[in-house]
DNA sequence: CGCGTTTGACCCGCGC
DNA sequence: GCGCGGGTCAAACGCG
């Protein structure tokens, strides 16, 4: 695994969890004024286990700016077609909230990484238009490794 | 008994 | 200032 890349969305250990997966880069940043350069694009995608590799110099949030000010957080979101809400992505999550959102009849679930000192958050909701899709969002960067971390180069 | 989930309350920012 | 929408807290509860 290249040293200048990181996996914001870690590996799913069970590819059969979903039928399709989309990376929604447009929803990556909170603000529409945020800018990102080419080296922050998604540079590769491992089809076998649906890994998404983001070349971000090791820490994407450190280079995202809005009006010359750093954004506090970045968010990666993608949707998967799955009948399972929570996909096993190699991290251990603890649910801390549930909310009905106005725009959708489906609830939104909030998860936090259960590793002490790691404040990465995860948000899961089903699409309003097609409830067979699950929208998963990650916020923050893990300060530790996943339990079953793999990299594209190792496959 | 330890840890995760549930669930209503609380909080906070924003628009009116 | 107030209400609303969305995010988080935390006590009670459940389960292994």
Q: Residue A99's pLDDT is what?
A: 92
Q: Which nucleotide is nearest to A109 (CA to C1')?
A: C7
pTM attached to this predicted model: 0.63
Measure the CA dihedral A122/A30/A143/A42, to 10°.
100
Q: Which nucleotide is nearest to A125 (CA to C1')?
A: C6
Q: How many angstroms separate the CA of A102 from the C1' of C2?
A: 20
Residue identified by tokens 């077609």 is: A81
Residue identified by tokens 């076998």 is: A48
Q: Which nucleotide is nearest to A114 (CA to C1')?
A: B4
Residue A35, beta-bridge partner list: A65
**Nearest CA to A1 among A38, A10, A119?**
A10
Is A94's CB less than 7 Å from nucleic acid strand C? no
Ramachandran bin of A49, using left for φ above 0, alpha for ψ from -120 to 50, beta for the remaining angles: alpha
Of residues A99 and A68, more confidence is placed in: A99
Per-residue pLDDT reduced to its tens digit, A35-56: 333 333 333 333 222 333 333 3
Q: Residue A75's pLDDT is what?
A: 57
């Amino acid at each position: 695994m290249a040293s200048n890349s990181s996996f914001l969305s870690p590996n799913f250990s069970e590819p059969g969890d979903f039928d399709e997966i989309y990376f929604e880069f447009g929803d990556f940043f909170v603000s529409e004024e945020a800018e990102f350069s080419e080296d922050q694009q998604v540079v590769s995608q491992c089809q076998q286990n649906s890994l998404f590799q983001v070349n971000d110099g090791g820490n994407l949030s450190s280079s995202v700016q809005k009006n010359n000010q750093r954004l506090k957080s970045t968010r990666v979101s993608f949707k998967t077609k799955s009948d399972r809400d929570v996909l096993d992505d190699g991290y251990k999550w603890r649910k801390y909230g549930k909310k009905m959102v106005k725009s959708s009849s489906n609830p939104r679930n909030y998860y936090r990484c259960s590793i002490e000192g790691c404040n990465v958050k995860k948000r899961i909701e089903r699409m309003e238009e097609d409830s067979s899709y699950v929208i998963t969002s990650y916020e923050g960067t893990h300060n530790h490794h996943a339990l079953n971390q793999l990299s594209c180069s190792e496959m």
